């Protein structure tokens, strides 16, 4: 059954990489963010596409990595290198956006290890989901 979930963007996500997306994609960021929220509100459907994958699933919370494209960029979501890391609380009916980044925003050679490190450092409540 598909449901509509509320979406909240965590302060760390807002303060860091989202700020750089806003600056880089001045007129296209707002519609992009609206599209991201729209798809996350229907995360059940999003997971049926190749734009999202479950990374961790325990205790009723799923950590999910999604791909997105910036509006009017002409790139595919996969090719863009743009990602969101979210925590889906299905029973509580909300999705928390933990990170929004482009692959070039992460410094290391292992994208997964880098974003997991950021989640562990900035979201202690999700630490166990990133091991």
Output the pLDDT for position 70: 84
User: Could you tell me the CATH superfamily of domain 6-130?
Assistant: RelE-like (3.30.2310.20)
User: Any idea where the domains of the chain sit in the sequence?
Assistant: 6-130
Which residue matches tokens 């950021």?
Answer: 118
Residue pLDDT, tens place only, 23-78: 777 778 889 999 999 999 999 999 999 999 999 999 899 999 999 988 877 776 77
Q: Where are the beta strands (DSSP E) in the chain?
A: 6-9, 52-58, 61-68, 82-89, 94-102
């Amino acid at each position: 059954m598909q449901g509509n979930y509320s979406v909240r963007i965590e302060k760390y996500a807002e303060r860091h990489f989202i700020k750089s997306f806003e600056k880089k994609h001045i007129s296209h960021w707002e519609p992009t963010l609206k599209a991201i929220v729209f798809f996350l509100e229907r995360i059940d459907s999003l997971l049926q596409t190749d734009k999202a994958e479950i990374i961790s699933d325990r205790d009723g919370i799923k950590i999910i990595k999604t791909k997105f494209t910036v509006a009017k960029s002409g790139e595919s979501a996969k090719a863009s290198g743009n990602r969101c890391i979210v925590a889906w609380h299905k029973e509580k009916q909300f999705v928390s956006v933990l990170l929004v980044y482009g692959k070039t925003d992460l410094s290391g050679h292992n994208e997964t290890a880098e974003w997991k490190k950021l989640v562990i450092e900035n979201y202690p409540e999700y630490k166990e989901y990133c091991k």
